[in-house]
């Protein structure tokens, strides 16, 4: 039996039970109804974009069979993020309280078989995700942001990385084309944003041109190169920094001393 939204109330399964209260998949006797599906349904129907929620709310709403540790539910939320859901925590946004989350964008309706299948078919494995992260230097290939760094001019707003696509999956499916590692790249959650109705309106041509007037000829040439490539390449210094900033504190101190001596900086 294919799961589909009720004709009269999309928040309920065919037998009238809210999707987030199901434990057994409709049409079966023993097959469990996945916790990611229940989480997605509750957030979709019970929370508006921009609203916050806590682990306590989730446990209370989804019933005793999901009342497990916060880390368990955290893993389920991370699974939702792979399906176009944008759900920052305090780690991503310092304005949020501990154990508080905000729904920034709704993603796939995973309680519906046809929508869940789209993500099951194209989602990369953990091994592939690690490979792509390592290959791309754990930095967004669009804007160059690194994991856990703060966005420029936005204290407390930390970068979260995910796996994005050079060619959108929807376009590949329309062409009956295959998705693979050559089409995957590291992107931050902002550049990966697919729910266009939830992001600010893009800048206008005249607004961008006003800023370009201050660029030198060399800077304009550099921008032209980035625009043609569709990404901002990282310099050797950028790449060295990506590696150096991950060193343990003792090694970082030693490296700082080495660099200071190398450039002849006074003690």
Average pLDDT per block of 10 residues along the chain, 267 residues long: 53 88 82 86 94 88 64 77 86 87 91 78 75 88 83 82 79 69 84 50 75 88 84 77 78 88 76
- The backbone region for 130, taken as left when phi is positive above 0, alpha when psi lies in -120 to 50, beta otherwise, is alpha
Segments forming the whole domain that contains residue 47: 1-121
Structure-token match 């294919």, residue found: 2
- Looking at the structure, do residues 161 and 115 belong to the same domain, yes or no? no
Give the global pTM: 0.47
In a domain, 52, yes or no: yes
Gap between the Cα atoms of 129 and 84, Å rounded: 16
Over the range 88-102, which residues count as b (16 or more CB within 10 Å of their CB) and which as e?
bbbebbeebeeebbb
- Looking at the structure, do residues 192 and 223 belong to the same domain, yes or no? no
- Looking at the structure, do residues 11 and 108 belong to the same domain, yes or no? yes
Gap between the Cα atoms of 36 and 76, Å rounded: 6
**Domain end position, chosen among 82, 99, 121:** 121
- Looking at the structure, do residues 28 and 110 belong to the same domain, yes or no? yes
């Amino acid at each position: 039996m294919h799961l589909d939204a009720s004709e009269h109330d999309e928040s309920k399964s065919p037998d009238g039970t809210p999707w987030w209260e199901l434990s057994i998949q409709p049409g079966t006797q023993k097959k469990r109804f996945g916790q990611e599906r229940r989480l997605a349904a509750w957030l979709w129907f019970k929370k508006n974009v921009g609203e916050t929620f806590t682990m306590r709310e989730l446990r209370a709403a989804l019933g005793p069979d999901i009342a497990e540790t916060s880390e368990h539910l955290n893993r389920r939320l991370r699974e939702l993020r792979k399906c176009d859901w944008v759900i920052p925590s305090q780690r991503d946004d310092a304005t949020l309280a501990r154990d508080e989350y905000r729904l920034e964008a709704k993603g796939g309706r995973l309680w519906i078989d046809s929508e869940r299948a789209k993500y099951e078919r194209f989602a990369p494995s953990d091994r592939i995700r690690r490979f792509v992260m390592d290959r791309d230097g754990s930095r967004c290939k669009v804007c160059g942001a690194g994991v856990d760094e703060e966005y420029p001019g936005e204290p407390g707003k930390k970068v979260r990385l995910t796996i994005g696509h050079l060619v959108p999956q929807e376009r590949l499916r329309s062409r009956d084309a295959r998705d693979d590692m050559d089409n995957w790249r590291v992107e931050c959650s902002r550049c990966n944003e697919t729910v266009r109705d939830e992001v600010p309106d893009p800048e206008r041509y005249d607004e961008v041109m006003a800023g370009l007037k201050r660029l030198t000829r060399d800077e304009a040439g550099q921008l032209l190169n980035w625009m043609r490539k569709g990404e901002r390449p990282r310099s050797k210094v950028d790449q060295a920094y990506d590696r150096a900033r991950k060193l343990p504190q003792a090694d970082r101190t030693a490296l700082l001393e080495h660099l200071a001596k190398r450039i002849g900086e006074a003690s």
